[in-house]
Amino acid sequence: MGKTLVEKIWDAHVVKRDEGYPDILYIDTHFIHEVTSPQAFDGLRKRGLPVFRPAQTIATADHNVPTLNQHLPIQETLSRYQVDMLTKNCAEFGVELYGLGHPFQGIVHVIGPELGITLPGATIVCGDSHTSTHGAFGAIAFGIGTSQVEQVLATQCLLQQPPKTMRITVDGMLGPGVSAKDIILYIIAKISAAGGTGYFIEYAGSTIRSLSMESRMTICNMSIEMGARGGLIAPDETTFEYIKGREFAPKGAGWDKALAQWNTLYSDSDAVFDAELTFDAADIEPMITYGTNPGMGIGISQFVPSTNSQELSERPSYQKALNYMGIEDDSALLGKEIDYVFIGSCTNSRMEDLRAVADFVKGRQKAPNVIAWIVPGSKQIEQQAIAEGLDQVFEAAGFQLREPGCSACLGMNEDKIPAGKYCVSTSNRNFEGRQGPNSRTFLASPLTAAAAAITGRITDVRSLLTENTYA
């Protein structure tokens, strides 16, 4: 029997497999950031251990950084202390750091791929659940806790049970105004915020194949939002084309050798998955969430499901979510007034996202009741956006282009949505308070977010698309 892609990569990284024990899994690449690493470095100090393979860990500061005036010292004391601690730890243990002010700084899941560090067939971990993003390159990539960050620093390995495998196939043509974000929000709405728990998901099918690397990253990024351990896409010409020539990508003879190996990275035709799901791209319209987990999503033209349509045991939690959001069941979201638009996060802060938004807002003006932030995923993206003149398009439309970081995705740094306010956000989580205490989040694609910024209301972007508009 053939192997799935996950099994191929996994098996190639098993250092030791003993009956009754988890596998010792070798980790090729480890990313760290300021929030989930300090206790891990502390642990090493307590045990008197060095970092075992410092060249295989890369650090950046992203979660806690301000997105304005990054050239000045961080004002918030605890944030500054945490970022300084990362700098000290990296210096002490010999880990490369792309900190504030470095041209490679940015959101950890944006810079890894952008720098050619994220490669097909690799095992990649980070103390952050959205590490699944790197799976877009055909890698096994997953989020870990701080104790595991310490394990990887100390041993370059993790103890892991082999995962179950699921294949999600999406076939067909996407409609106008429908993007990768809509595909993944649609899948999560179909299988729920827990539907992928325990699985590594391989995304396949003609729709997925037709996507750019940036779109594939958006899909894999949100695998964790259905509980999956990770998500991945078999590498192909699109993948190789993206990687070639990047800063740390293999070059010369190393490239040819790598390419030969990457070409073996696919699920065999007779491989068996533990679960298989199939969706039709034609069924997907622009999506938006209405509740407080990413599984609570609907097509933009649909009504919020009625409480009575929920399982009896689930109704109290369902009603709690709608109360928090200030939304009635059986009502339409279209036309609902909003206060903020956030375009950014490891889900949607790449050049493709910024270009799509710029194309759409060019010559338009944001609604006066809306504050619209665009936060690029990395310093390189910020520079590229400026080089392409997108900063001027955004400014003319009343959008503020800020500096790179996780920003308003997680209500940790200075960028927060005020209590009670509604934000249409391209990020990945709509949990209670995620964007700031009592903030209320509608997750959507960059285009749907941009449309809401222009009209000041939840809007079907398709009603505003012209022939020249990106779609």
Partner 1 sequence: MKKFTTLTTQVVPLPIENVDTDQIIPARFLKATTREGFGENLFCDWRYDASGSPRPDFVLNNPIYSGKALVAGKNFGCGSSREHAAWALQDYGFDVVISSFFADIFKGNALNNGLLPIQLSDGFVQRIFLAAETDPQAQVTVDLEAQTVTIETTKEYESFEINPYKKSCLINGYDDIDFILNQRAAVEQFEQQKAVV
- Structure tokens belonging to residue 357: 């938004």
Counting contacts by CB under 8 A, is residue 429 touching partner 1?
Answer: yes
- Choose the stretch contacting partner 1; rule: CB under 8 A; options: 41-49, 100-108, 352-360, 391-399: 41-49
Residue 33 near residue 61 (C-beta atoms within 8 A) = yes
**Least separation in angstroms between CB 20 and partner 1:** 6
Counting contacts by CB under 8 A, is residue 79 touching partner 1?
Answer: yes
Tell me, letter by letter, the H, E, C secondary structure of 343-384.
Answer: ECCCCCCCHHHHHHHHHHHCCCCCCCCCEEEECCCEHHHHHH
- Structure tokens belonging to residue 129: 């659940």
| Nearer of residues 126 and 174 to partner 1, judged by Cβ | 126
Counting contacts by CB under 8 A, is residue 26 touching partner 1?
Answer: yes
Counting contacts by CB under 8 A, is residue 33 touching partner 1?
Answer: no
DSSP, collapsed to helix, strand or coil, labels residue 57 as strand
| Nearer of residues 341 and 412 to partner 1, judged by Cβ | 412
**Size, binding site for partner 1 by CB under 8 A:** 64
What residues have CB less than 8 Å from 185, skipping those under 6 apart? 222, 287, 288, 289, 294, 297, 443, 444, 445
Q: Is 406 annotated as a binding residue?
A: yes
Counting contacts by CB under 8 A, is residue 42 touching partner 1?
Answer: yes
Q: What is the dihedral of CA 129, 276, 274, 162, to 10 degrees?
A: -20
Counting contacts by CB under 8 A, is residue 16 touching partner 1?
Answer: yes
Among 293, 349, 380, 426, binds partner 1 (CB under 8 A): 293
Classify the phi-psi angles of 66: left when phi > 0, otherwise alpha if psi is within -120 to 50, otherwise beta. beta
State how far the Cα of 164 lies from the Cα of 201, in Å rounded to an integer. 9
| Nearer of residues 150 and 285 to partner 1, judged by Cβ | 150
State how far the Cα of 134 lies from the Cα of 52, in Å rounded to an integer. 23
Counting contacts by CB under 8 A, is residue 8 touching partner 1?
Answer: no
DSSP, collapsed to helix, strand or coil, labels residue 337 as strand
DSSP strand pairing (123-126 vs 29-32): parallel
State how far the Cα of 395 lies from the Cα of 362, in Å rounded to an integer. 10
Counting contacts by CB under 8 A, is residue 150 touching partner 1?
Answer: yes
Cα separations (Å) of 218 from 232, 293, 441, 448? 11, 17, 18, 15
Q: Is 409 annotated as a binding residue?
A: yes
Counting contacts by CB under 8 A, is residue 128 touching partner 1?
Answer: yes
Angle of helix 146-155 relative to helix 38-47, nearest 10 degrees?
Answer: 50
Amino acid identity, residue 150?
E
Among 6, 9, 58, 144, binds partner 1 (CB under 8 A): 144
| Nearer of residues 408 and 458 to partner 1, judged by Cβ | 408
State how far the Cα of 99 lies from the Cα of 62, in Å rounded to an integer. 8
Binding letters toward partner 1, positions 261-290, x by CB under 8 A: ------------------------------
Counting contacts by CB under 8 A, is residue 431 touching partner 1?
Answer: yes
| Nearer of residues 148 and 347 to partner 1, judged by Cβ | 148
Counting contacts by CB under 8 A, is residue 95 touching partner 1?
Answer: no
Counting contacts by CB under 8 A, is residue 398 touching partner 1?
Answer: no
| Nearer of residues 97 and 454 to partner 1, judged by Cβ | 97
Counting contacts by CB under 8 A, is residue 93 touching partner 1?
Answer: no
**Residue positions in the annotated binding site?**
346, 406, 409
Kindly list the residues in this chain that would bind partner 1 in the complex (CB under 8 A).
15-16, 20-22, 24, 26, 35-36, 38-39, 42-43, 47, 63-64, 78-79, 81-82, 85, 127-129, 143-148, 150-151, 154-159, 161, 193-194, 197-198, 224, 227, 229, 292-293, 313-314, 316-317, 320, 410-412, 419, 429, 431-434, 437-438
